[in-house]
Amino acid sequence: MTQSLAPHFKQPLLKTPFHERARALSQVDSFIPWAGYTTVDVFTTMEQEYFAIRNATTLYDLTPMVKYRVAGPDALPYLNRLVTRDIEKLGPDRVTYCVWCNDAGHLIDDGTVFRFGASEYRICTAERQIDWLLDSAIGFDVEVAEVTEHIAALAVQGPTSCAVLKALGLQGVEKIKPFEIGYFALGPHRLTVSRTGFTGDLGYELWMEPGSAEAVWDALMEAGRSRGIRAIGSQALNVARIEAGFLLPNVDFVSAEHTIRTGRDRSPLELGLGWLVDFHKGHFTGRRALLNEKIQGPRRQLVGLDIAGNKPAHNSLLYTDDGGKREVGSVTSAIWSPTCKRNIALAIVDAPHFRMGSTVWAEIYLNRELVWERRMSRAQVVERPFFAPERRRMTPPAEF
Amino acid sequence: MTVSAVPSRYDCVVIGAGHNGLVCAATLARAGRSVLVLEAGNQVGGAAVTREFAPGFRVSAGAHLLHLVPAQLLRELQLESHGLKWAARGMGTTALVPGGANLSLSHDGTVLGPSAADAQAYSIFRARMRRFAAALAPALSRSPPRLGTSEWADRLALLRVGWEIRRLGRRDMRELLRIGGMNVHDLLEENFESEALKGALGFDAVLGANFGPRSPGTVLTLLYRLAGESAAGDSGLSQPTGGMGALCNALAEAASAAGATVRTGATVATIVVDGDRAAGVVLQSGESIGARTVISSADPKTTFLRLLGSRHLDAGFVRRVSHIRSRGLAAKLHLALNRAPSFSGAGKASLRGRLLISPSLQHIELAYNHAKYGEFSSAPIMEVTVPTINDPTLAPTGQHVLSAIVQYAPYELKEGWQSGRHRFMETALEALEAYAPGLRSCVVGEELLTPVDLEHEFRTSGGHWHHGDLAFDQFLMVRPVPGAAQYRTPVDRLFLCGAGCHPGGGVMGVAGRNAARQVLTVDLKSA
Amino acid sequence: MRTPADLDVIIVGAGHNGLVAACYLARSGLKVLVLERQPYIGGAAVSRRVYQDFTYSNCSYVCSLLRPEIIRTLELPKYGLQVIPYEGGCTMMHGGGHLAVYDNHDALRREIARHSKRDAEAYDRYSRDVMRQCKFIKPLLMREPPDPTSFKPRDLKELLYLGKRFHGLGEARMYDTLRFWTMSAADFLDEYFESEIVKAHFAGSSIIGTALGPRSPGTAYVLLHHYMGDIDDTVGAWGFARGGMGAITKALGASFEASGGTIRRAAPVARILVRRGRASGVALADGEEIHAPLVMSNMDVRRTFLETMDAKDLPDEFVRQVKNFKIRGSSGKLNIALDGLPRFPAIPEGSPSTRGDMHVTDTIEMMERAYDDWKDGRWSRAPYIDMLIPSQIDPTMVPDGKHYMSVFVQYCPYKLADGPWDAAKRKAFGDTVINTIAQHSPNFKDLILHAEIRTPWDIENEVGLTEGNIFQGELTMDQLLFNRPVPGYAQYRAPVRGVYMCGSSTHPGGGVMGAPGANAARAVLRDLRMAH
């Protein structure tokens, strides 16, 4: 485990086991904090890194992702009471994306649940929440413990990622289907590989002991040299995840465990995640509230927008008309999509304007050589994801 | 667990045959429901029970005085025709003071002993507190409203509380709003000079509470008691013939007469949930019993965490339930005596009422100090009764029973009750001996029930007779927890009817009656 | 120009609330005279030199609650006020070890995690809930509490406002609020934390200035009261006033005088004069009478009505209620001049923890026992102390290389069970505190150049606060909102026309907040039908 030796009042942020490698490649010295770790925002330029995701193979240090080990006789009933999806349907060595809610049916967080073998589970999520997870464990014979610092993780994403992993020597990696887990050895290093990711592209996530981190990084860089491998930071990943339509906590929603003001919590139904809610699997936290909400229909919903022009609608308010008289919501994430060549955004829109095909108007401010201009741009509610290449699902993946 | 195969055999299954469970069952049976009451013990009564504690000596093992059962409830269930008789009503209070002096408070409001100024202040104080109690009594008797709903019933209930308080007039209303959050120490200091009088009046504010007289909120507990007495029709302290068990026997009779079945020795292991609703219970024996409605008089922690299980509940709700404070601080002392005890300075007649060892507010506060740190009081406070004076049937001829509530005896004793029990018994006996010299020499049998024993005997978490501290933050619409404060629970068709609900413990029966009414209302709505 | 004879308002007492009220009234064009008994202004917000070139914040010692709208409207920065945040805090444990509090969220999480991983994350839920309550209460601070027994449109409107705000919380949070306002700090903290040291650290603010222990219901509110401050809108931040707490009242005085107001120092008021049922002015101790149609008292209600007014001018019921108002002395203070910076072996070298509030009470039980001592009429044998060394951050307070330590002590009674305070007892009290600190700092005693020891009795005598109570009255449920100071008179107006109250005895209570002064000024202006 690579931990900083300085006392935490001098150095509040931890370093991941990949930190030294990342620092060596960082050209612009742009680091940001993430879940208590310092991580790279940009290595070289955002554009170069983004196109590597869509064109070649990228490495992204996932270590700060908060990880909890869940085990014990009641692990399954515990998880099924925690999350809205039916974990009973999750086969051994598989992963599922899910969300969990408070009593009011408001989202506490989203994340992935891994099932290793028969009875061990892992929750991976963006924020720490042992407080909620342990309170949820009252009455269950289950052990829940944070293992973030014990597991190093690396996302290997991009159309050539499978080829890189094969070149690395992970035989049979191509057989892993989306949301499946495989186990490999790389010399003395044990690797757990899941076909998961946050880019909406072909990709894998590698989980290992912190002591293996640098060796695995080096081997990957070597194996991927001819396939354009490149380390990426969070900025490039953010563009890819918006294209893929994925949500980011504290950007697209605020955890109901953190909201101060009333009415800022969001339910999975409002976030367009109704498909993750299984009302037939038995009780889970928030079920009664969500049933009620389902009957009444959500008052607002998170949707994808396709916006006229090419200026990203950062923080834009949305209106029903181009005069800007009636507000109907606001944009949570916005980018110019380099691949789709579309001006896209995720936004929370009030009923009934969130219906597919509806038109709203986004108020965009443009800074043109220090002169601000306000522009009302037509925005249409469109399908998410904005970009979903076939290669992300193909098994075995094509040789790109 | 899914038991849809089990046919519904009863409309209602009531868990626990304590007074609240029985009142609930009788009320439902009288409304035409088929009702089964399941009691784990060998007799009905819960914590309102009479049993033998030494050969030939019987005692009300839990509560030992009645003063809170609404007169209307007694009439409604015709308890007197079902065998309830009174050994004493309108019993007085004698406050014992070291050195043999004492002070007595009678049911009609006369006070003997303190200075003329205090006697006058007492009559003003008593009248005012009774006015407050009468204003609060309706709120105490009804189901507490929910906040923030758009239901008219809730809004109306809130308005009614507001109206009752406004009706007091500006001066009284201001005083009530001021003292409502105060501590009883300050309130009594504002009004009286006699230590003995303040000690006696302060006693009722902390009886059964996790408070000393200086704890804010003790005026509330006092008003709660007075409002309960007011709602009960102000018949004062009473003693049923045959002990408290007689009340529950009469209640069981009333329930049976209305068609309910009462089974003793039937311990419920699990509340069965089918889909989203309660569907019955499974006994420890493995027997399944189906029901359209399940009503639990067990305390909320037992009901939700043990019988139901957190997997049927939301995590936030479980978190709240786990935060309920329900650690008892009152112990019960029972003595078999070979003759009537005699307390210095207190006449024979005083034994017909209750005697308080609570000579000053300072004495209570010091007793409470220990409890805060997991110790028992070195000089405890006590409510002493000699039930055999009014009801000789409880002991062999000529012999007597002394029953005392002794505070403070914290559930979680640092040294553990294993060794603490003996030392606490000694402490309590010494304290009694000081007021009744020679008492120890006539003790022929003794029993001390610590909160741990009470927990075991009466199956209440923490051995708390209120099933949860009575305090502002566990009161009215937050009792036992939001989401279950109107007797309904998050699980459809599962109700609570015990002391953990509004208005709380003390042998009152209001929670049982309100829960039954809630069941009937829900039936009506879903019909 | 009007002559001094045309005074509109006399304000008795130049404490921070009196000065805040004075500023607002003077800015509205009224002719205001402030009378101060001491030769210096400030009341309990003073900086004084009682030993060489050391400046002490003799009484209050941190600036956290002063309302930003007051700082802004009265242009206090222009008149010299600067508030500098402090950088951390800690509780040192018996037998070594400590819990530090850092500004940086990640550092704080890792620090709490040293004691309990779970508590480190429960802390977020705790701050969230405290913040939710602060958000609810904050707007109420600068409003006049409604009289719930009144049918006046204004009271009904205010009640409706309160009701609406409460309703706006939503059902679940309404229950949380009900519970929060009535719980004990110990029970409240138990719902979040498992580690004793973490609970003890956060429980500190629930007892400061309060004659209650952490297990007394209502102390969760006191805890909240201390969180209500904000510096530059970061709720809960605490800071030093550059130059000591006197800098606040100095700036207020300057702002007041710039608006044309007059302050007379060393002018003790002996009586508030009432003629034909309304205020007519004041009489000073030397017999001089000064007349004005309005008199506003910055003194606590007991001193105002029982000592400075004639009972026959007041309704009996009111006098009875004022007598029943609970003002209990429970806090002491030590101001210590140090020859250098004391070492605290429990705190790691270079930690910012010493540049904030330091404590040595590591369990709630210890705090509760300290309270038991107070109940018994003696100072706590192991007191709760809130200790700061502002000279590390504020260079103006001490000669170079020296330091000033402010030690707030809870609990210390106003009346001792064994007879009145005297010099020997004061010294013994001081020794108790010094020894408590010395247990955690081996070189502390050697560094002491001078110590000013202040018992509640001293504070009463010097500042005029009854019993030395820093809040001018307990912050208990029965003395908050419409009950503060007494039911029916919570709107800054005394029963005698023309007499007003503006001290911390009134809503929203104590701390160097200024809200009572601002609210009282508003009440006067409304009565005069002037814009405010």
Q: B171: which chain C residues are within 8 Å (Cβ-Cβ)? A: 317
DSSP string, C81-129: --EEE--EEEEEPTTS-EEEEESSHHHHHHHHHHH-HHHHHHHHHHHHH
Q: Which pair of tokens denotes residue B94?
A: 């004698």
d(CA C473, CA B215): 17
Q: Secondary structure of A205-231 in the HEC alphabet?
A: EEEECHHHHHHHHHHHHHHHHHHCEEE
Angle at A214 between CA A211 and CA A220, to 5 degrees: 130
The answer to whether B311 contacts chain A (CB < 8 Å) is: yes
Q: What percentage of residues in chain B have a pLDDT greater than 70?
A: 98
Q: B472: which chain C residues are within 8 Å (Cβ-Cβ)? A: 178-179, 181-183, 217, 477
Closest Cα in chain C to A8: C107
Q: Do C476 and B216 touch (CB under 8 A)?
A: yes
**Chosen from C182, C221, C323, C363 to mutate, greatest number of chain B CBs within 10 A:** C182
Query: Using CB atoms and an 8 Å cut-off, which of residues 314-343 of chain B contact chain A?
Result: 314-319, 322
Average pLDDT over residues A99-126: 96
- Please tell me the predicted confidence (pLDDT) of residue A8: 87
Task: Give the pLDDT confidence of A24-73 residue by residue, as tens digits.
Answer: 999 999 999 999 999 999 999 999 999 999 999 999 999 999 999 999 99
pLDDT band at A118 (very low <50, low <70, confident <90, very high): confident
| Cross-chain CB nearest to A135 (options B309, B315, B483) | B315
**Chosen from B147, B159, B479 to mutate, greatest number of chain C CBs within 10 A:** B147
- Please tell me the predicted confidence (pLDDT) of residue C399: 97
**Chosen from A8, A143, A148 to mutate, greatest number of chain C CBs within 10 A:** A8
Closest CA of chain C from A129, distance in Å: 6
d(CA B317, CA A139): 12
- Please tell me the predicted confidence (pLDDT) of residue A1: 37
Q: B477: which chain C residues are within 8 Å (Cβ-Cβ)? A: 175, 178
- Please tell me the predicted confidence (pLDDT) of residue B5: 47
Closest Cα in chain A to C89: A9
Q: B317: which chain A residues are within 8 Å (Cβ-Cβ)? A: 103
The answer to whether A102 contacts chain B (CB < 8 Å) is: yes
| Cross-chain CB nearest to A285 (options B276, B305, B315) | B315
| Cross-chain CB nearest to B478 (options C178, C216, C486) | C178
Chains linked to B by 3 or more Cβ pairs within 8 Å: A, C
B361-372 helix and C364-375 helix, angle to the nearest 10 degrees: 170
- Please tell me the predicted confidence (pLDDT) of residue C5: 62
Which among B92, B75, B89, B176 has a CA at the least distance from the CA of B134?
B176
Angle at A301 between CA A297 and CA A302, to 5 degrees: 155
- Please tell me the predicted confidence (pLDDT) of residue C238: 73
- Please tell me the predicted confidence (pLDDT) of residue C314: 97
Q: Do B372 and C368 touch (CB under 8 A)?
A: yes
pTM of the model: 0.95
Residue B445 clears pLDDT 70, i.e. is over it: yes
Q: Do B216 and C217 touch (CB under 8 A)?
A: yes
Q: B178: which chain C residues are within 8 Å (Cβ-Cβ)? A: 478, 483, 486-487
| Cross-chain CB nearest to B310 (options A132, A139, A286) | A139
Question: What element of type H or E holds B291?
Answer: strand B288-296
User: What is the signed CA dihedral for B447, B451, B456, B458, rounded to 10 degrees?
Assistant: 90
Q: Do B181 and C182 touch (CB under 8 A)?
A: yes
CB neighbourhood size of C72 (10 A): 10
Task: Give the pLDDT confidence of A256-288 residue by residue, as tens digits.
Answer: 999 988 889 999 999 999 999 999 999 999 999
Which among C205, C224, C253, C239 has a CA at the least distance from the CA of C66?
C239
Q: Do C348 and A8 touch (CB under 8 A)?
A: no
Task: Give the pLDDT confidence of A65-99 residue by residue, as tens digits.
Answer: 999 999 999 999 999 999 999 999 999 999 999 99
- Please tell me the predicted confidence (pLDDT) of residue B150: 82
d(CA B416, CA B420): 6
- Please tell me the predicted confidence (pLDDT) of residue A3: 43
Closest Cα in chain C to A12: C107
Q: A131: which chain C residues are within 8 Å (Cβ-Cβ)? A: 118, 121-122, 124-125
Average pLDDT over residues B458-480: 93
pLDDT band at B526 (very low <50, low <70, confident <90, very high): confident
Closest CA of chain B from A102, distance in Å: 7
Closest Cα in chain A to B304: A139
HSE, side-chain direction, 13 A CA sphere, residue A281: 22
Q: Do A285 and B310 touch (CB under 8 A)?
A: no
Q: Please give the backbone phi and psi of residue A182, each rounded to the nearest 5 degrees, phi first.
A: -130, 155
Q: Do B190 and C488 touch (CB under 8 A)?
A: no
**10-residue stretch averages of pLDDT, chain C, 532 residues long:** 71 98 97 98 96 96 88 96 90 94 92 96 93 87 91 92 90 91 95 97 94 96 79 61 96 98 97 96 97 97 97 96 96 98 94 94 97 98 97 95 98 97 98 98 98 97 95 94 94 97 95 95 94 61
Residue B2 clears pLDDT 50, i.e. is over it: no
Closest CA of chain B from A78, distance in Å: 8
| Cross-chain CB nearest to A9 (options C107, C168, C173) | C107
Closest Cα in chain A to C127: A258
The answer to whether B51 contacts chain A (CB < 8 Å) is: no
Say if residues A38 and A13 touch (Cβ distance below 8 Å).
Answer: yes
Q: A13: which chain C residues are within 8 Å (Cβ-Cβ)? A: 106
Q: Do C106 and A36 touch (CB under 8 A)?
A: yes
Q: C171: which chain B residues are within 8 Å (Cβ-Cβ)? A: 146-149, 482
d(CA B186, CA B49): 36
Token look-up 């006996």 returns B429
d(CA A164, CA A272): 35
